[in-house]
A and B are shown apart, each in its own frame.
Chain A
Amino acid sequence: MARRVLLHVGTPKTGTTYLQDVCFLNRDLLREHGILYPAERFDAHFLAALDLMRLPWAGLERQAVGAWDRLAEQVRAFDGTAIVSHEILARATAPQARRALESLGHGSGTEIHLVLSVRDLVRQIPAEWQENVKHRTTTSYADFLAELQDPSRDGTIASWFWAVQEIPDIVDRWRHDLPASQVHLVTVPPTGSPRDLLWERFVAAFGLGEVPLGLGTDRANVSLGAPETYLMRQVNLVSDHIEPTDYRSQIRELLAHRTLSTRTGSPRLALDPACYPWVASLESAWVAELERQGYDVVGSLGELQGTVPATYADPDAPEPAQVVDAAVTSIVALVEEISRRRIAEEHLHAEIGELHRQLAVARRSPYLKAKEATFRLLSSSWLGRRLLGAYQRARGSSSRRA
């Protein structure tokens, strides 16, 4: 039974992927230091979260069967500290959260610590819209903001957004009977802070200071600018026939992450200034509630009150020249990818050609011809098939002896 579990349940867009990458790449090293990060594949905790929450996800759910139970079993079997981390866990209902806590050993002697990394809504709202666009949404920024402001929270976007971003409610669903001292909020530093400050806070919250972790994973922020996000949304409008696997690899990975996110000169996404009073009042209410609850804070709750950037570019109506520029960059990147694949295909064709040539040479051998003729003859009768089976069994056992 794990003595201590650090259960990181959100929120999205707070550097969680980087933390998970570091933990996954260093899992052997962590284990040497008595810390378990139970994952055979980089997305193991994501699949476990899908399984726990019964959440289909573009076909990936078929790889998630039994994933939570397997993860919990590894945690229970480990004698030390275990880390479980995925931001979509923020969306769990209270019964699902209780089930998760119990499966990890809560109530059976394991000390569970709930960790939430959190960021101000001023930055979270545009970041979540962009994330939605990278997951095929076609909703404009204006409609997205309007949906978030609808008090009913009806609609797929609003219900998801508030489920994974409303910090006091997430803690309320997850906390169960944990004392406040076992709830840790890691705040994301404001824009312009030292680059490593968030990582240092993660290290402090997860007790990783003694582990000489390799941080070789790509730490670059893959956010898109306003014209690039607009372009992605236009692509989404006409690409619903693209299979999810292809969308993930070609559009999200190649186009968004590896191409458009490298364009740093275009206007950044930001909160519409008109929404600021509404957002500021929400942030104040959240900070007051979190202060009242007395949770452990790594960073400062004051950082949850964001400031509006000096400039705003409407991502629903970007400068046409900037969109064209982004589109040209995309076309070049896609052509380069096609070229790369063409070269790989030519190599494969050459290999196949060589294999065919070797096969033809082998088939000219009288010995092989006789063997094939015997096989055909034996295959055509019941007795022959029995003899063939006996021969193959005998040959197999000879091979094993050899």
Chain B
Amino acid sequence: MRTAASWLAHLRAGGTTPWAAYDGGEAVAAPVETEVGAQQLEVLRRLNELGRVSPALADRVIRADLSGRGHGLLRLAGDESATARRFGTPPVDPAGLPYVELIRPLLTLLAEDVARAGAPSAPVARTPRRRAVPYRLAGDPLLAAAAHTDLIRHGRPDGGDGTVTYVVARDLPTMLADAWTWRSLTDRAPEWEDWLAMLERTGRLPEELDLVRQARDAGEDVRVVLDPTLLPGALGIEEVAAPVTLGADAAELARLVTTVVGLHAGDGTPDLMVRGFAPRLARTPGPPLAVPERSWAWVDAQARLLHAALCAASYDVLGDPDLVLAPAAPASGRSPQEHAVLDLALRTLLEGA
């Protein structure tokens, strides 16, 4: 008999047959699990296609809440055990479920994993260095975070009297990708292309990338650092680690997971995402995040404005101001793609189990 319960038993045993092609197995007494939605069942089937799913993970998948907005638990079209219902969303073929429905149970599970794993301990400051110049970091948030971590390791917490502000920067398209990635890890962020379109419409760069404003707000003692090789010297340390960089799909997955982690960790979410989940996602291969062609002209124009402002600046600029300009042609890379984000979510869940 072709029932949701028998298909679930098939999937629990590692089966990969799509619901539409499933011809039923042995009769299974209807357990509580008949309240599993088509969303969770299809996710379990796709996980089976990718690798071996442990019984514990299978159990978690079928019980996973559906995060965020969307349908409730969807019923299977053609479930011979289901009593006809006149109300609720019509039954579906799970193979035809859109990305937005399939990603929901995965986000719940990944967020649970992120919250459970926690974040590695914060870098421990060595003995504080005397006579080190007090500093504050601004500009590209990924570069600033990487430098800050290294400075903490060197016994250099930020702030203090007589602070020098270092505005760290690089080419504008990369800084935009960095700023969106940082927002995706720490806060709520719109989708990448929507975010760029919003910036273009308002005619403003995000506050942290408005280098001129950052420098102006910093007061008198400010250096804009464009050349990464000059940054360690400026900060008085031997080297600064490369920032954590996420590919296009990894950054989008992070964006989606962050909001759900918020339900577990509250204000501790950015820490879990930046120090816990991001390094894990950074190890997954994938194309980098890049400004799409439709936004390129605007980004290029903004970079030229920034360049002109830096050339006219009265404060120190370490490195060639040309470094802030957009490359002549868009870099290789792309915007996030739904099918790739879904695939990454499935693999990340499977590998973490």
Residue positions of A touching B, CB distance < 8 A:
50-51, 53-56, 58-59, 61-65, 91, 93-96, 151-154, 156, 159-160, 162-163, 166, 168-169, 172-173, 238, 240-241, 244, 285-286, 289
From B22-30, B82-90, B169-177, give the one contacting chain A: B82-90
**A56→B35 contact, CB < 8 A:** no
- Please name the residue on chain B nearest to A156 by beta carbon: B69
- Please name the residue on chain A nearest to B263 by beta carbon: A61
Contacts A61-B263, A65-B266 known; list 8 others, CB within 8 Å: A56-B260, A65-B263, A91-B72, A93-B37, A152-B89, A166-B87, A166-B88, A168-B86
19 A-B pairs with CB atoms under 8 Å apart are A50-B263, A53-B65, A54-B108, A55-B67, A56-B67, A56-B262, A59-B188, A61-B262, A62-B262, A62-B269, A91-B72, A152-B90, A153-B90, A160-B69, A163-B72, A166-B88, A172-B88, A238-B201, A241-B204
**B266→A151 contact, CB < 8 A:** no
Does any Cβ of A come within 8 Å of B339's Cβ? no
**B88→A95 contact, CB < 8 A:** no
Name the 4 nearest CB pairs between A and B, nearest first.
A56-B259, A169-B87, A54-B65, A65-B266
**B67→A54 contact, CB < 8 A:** yes
- Please name the residue on chain B nearest to A159 by beta carbon: B71
Number of residues in B with C-beta < 8 Å to the partner? 38
Contacts of A285 in B (CB 8 A): 86
Contact mask for chain B residues 15-56; partner A; CB cutoff 8 A; 1 contact, 0 none = 000000000000000000001010000000000000000000
Cα separation A162 to B194 with both chains bound (whole Å): 27
Does any Cβ of A come within 8 Å of B68's Cβ? yes
Q: Which of A55, A94, A151 contacts B69 (CB 8 A)?
A: A55
Q: Is the interface of A mostly helix, strand, loop or mixed?
A: helix
**A153→B65 contact, CB < 8 A:** no
Contacts of B201 in A (CB 8 A): 238, 241
Does any Cβ of A come within 8 Å of B78's Cβ? no
Distance (whole angstroms) from the CB of B87 to the closest CB of chain A: 4
Contacts of B318 in A (CB 8 A): none
Distance (whole angstroms) from the CB of A102 to the closest CB of chain B: 13
Cα separation A163 to B68 with both chains bound (whole Å): 13
Q: Which of A61, A91, A94, A95 contacts B259 (CB 8 A)?
A: A61
Does any Cβ of A come within 8 Å of B218's Cβ? no
Residue positions of B touching A, CB distance < 8 A:
35, 37, 63, 65-73, 85-90, 98, 108, 187-188, 190, 194, 198-199, 201-202, 204, 259-260, 262-267, 269
Cα separation A167 to B69 with both chains bound (whole Å): 19
Cα separation A96 to B65 with both chains bound (whole Å): 8
**A54→B266 contact, CB < 8 A:** no
**A153→B190 contact, CB < 8 A:** no
Cα separation A250 to B155 with both chains bound (whole Å): 43
Cα separation A95 to B35 with both chains bound (whole Å): 7
Cα separation A392 to B198 with both chains bound (whole Å): 52
Cα separation A173 to B87 with both chains bound (whole Å): 11
Known: A93-B72, A159-B70, A241-B198. A59 touches B262 (CB 8 A): yes
Contacts of A240 in B (CB 8 A): 190, 194, 198
Contacts of B267 in A (CB 8 A): 62
**B87→A289 contact, CB < 8 A:** yes
Distance (whole angstroms) from the CB of B33 to the closest CB of chain A: 10
Distance (whole angstroms) from the CB of A379 to the closest CB of chain B: 11
Contacts of B199 in A (CB 8 A): 241
**A55→B68 contact, CB < 8 A:** yes
**B89→A162 contact, CB < 8 A:** yes
**A153→B87 contact, CB < 8 A:** no
Cα separation A159 to B190 with both chains bound (whole Å): 21
Contacts of B88 in A (CB 8 A): 166, 169, 172
Cα separation A63 to B264 with both chains bound (whole Å): 10
Distance (whole angstroms) from the CB of A361 to the closest CB of chain B: 22
Distance (whole angstroms) from the CB of A291 to the closest CB of chain B: 14
Contacts of A286 in B (CB 8 A): 87
**A63→B63 contact, CB < 8 A:** no
Distance (whole angstroms) from the CB of B135 to the closest CB of chain A: 19
Distance (whole angstroms) from the CB of B37 to the closest CB of chain A: 8
Distance (whole angstroms) from the CB of A86 to the closest CB of chain B: 16
**A56→B71 contact, CB < 8 A:** no
- Please name the residue on chain A nearest to B130 by beta carbon: A380
Contacts of A173 in B (CB 8 A): 72
**B262→A168 contact, CB < 8 A:** no
Contacts of B71 in A (CB 8 A): 153-154, 159, 163
Contacts of B67 in A (CB 8 A): 54-56
Cα separation A58 to B188 with both chains bound (whole Å): 7
Cα separation A91 to B202 with both chains bound (whole Å): 36
Contacts of B204 in A (CB 8 A): 241
**B263→A51 contact, CB < 8 A:** yes
**A64→B89 contact, CB < 8 A:** no
- Please name the residue on chain B nearest to A53 by beta carbon: B65
Distance (whole angstroms) from the CB of A225 to the closest CB of chain B: 28
Distance (whole angstroms) from the CB of B90 to the closest CB of chain A: 6
Cα separation A26 to B23 with both chains bound (whole Å): 59
Q: Which of A63, A94, A156, A238 contacts B70 (CB 8 A)?
A: A156
- Please name the residue on chain B nearest to A171 by beta carbon: B87
Cα separation A97 to B273 with both chains bound (whole Å): 30
Residue from A50, A91, A163 having most chain B Cβ neighbours under 10 A? A163
- Please name the residue on chain A nearest to B202 by beta carbon: A241
Distance (whole angstroms) from the CB of A258 to the closest CB of chain B: 26
**A94→B35 contact, CB < 8 A:** yes
Distance (whole angstroms) from the CB of A325 to the closest CB of chain B: 27
- Please name the residue on chain B nearest to A240 by beta carbon: B198
**B68→A56 contact, CB < 8 A:** yes
